[in-house]
Amino acid sequence: MEALELRTGRRGRLRPIDEGFEQLLLGVGVDEATGGVPYAQLPRYATADGKGTNDTTKALTTNGQPVDNPIRNVWVTETALSTALNASYLAENVALFGIVVGVALLLTGIGFGVLVLGGSLRGRDKSFQLFGKRTPETAGAKTVPVA
């Protein structure tokens, strides 16, 4: 961890927003463990000298089976961790998007409720009468037919 702190200049616990940084650290760790050799170029089986081999006859064996190269497994682990990190980053952003959309829909609903209560959407006659019945100035006057 000290080598990573020296290389990156970061200390302490990472915040959830630093997933990209954590993925960078995973890559740095894999490069240090494998010496910068990509997965496809690493030998498949372990040997006694630690260099590894692709020949099953020269590989270390356990119960008659060749032993996998542990350095090669570092790449598999890094890929799995990186995928899980990306999935959690996506899930966090989808959840944040859902919260924002929920708040926007809630505010829209409140706005429409205010419009319904005020009578803007249904007309004056069908709206809720919160402040008493409104009557025109000529209420109660007889209508005169026009010829």
Query: CA dihedral defined by 23, 27, 30, 31, rounded to 10 degrees?
Result: -160
Q: d(Cα 57, Cα 88) in Å, to the nearest integer?
A: 42
pLDDT for the residue numbered 11: 55
Q: d(Cα 108, Cα 122) in Å, to the nearest integer?
A: 18
> Per-residue DSSP letters for 93-140?
HHHHHHHHHHHHHHHHHHHHHHHHHHTTTT-TTTS--SS-----TTTT
For 28-72, how does the pLDDT look when each residue is reduced to its tens digit (9 = 90+)?
777 777 787 877 788 888 888 888 888 888 888 888 888 888 888
pLDDT exceeds 50 at position 101: yes
pLDDT exceeds 90 at position 108: yes
Reported pTM: 0.55
Q: How many residues does the chain have?
A: 147
Give every CB contact of residue 146 below 8 A, 6+ residues apart in sequence.
none
Give just the sign of the alpha carbon dihedral 21, 27, 32, 33: positive
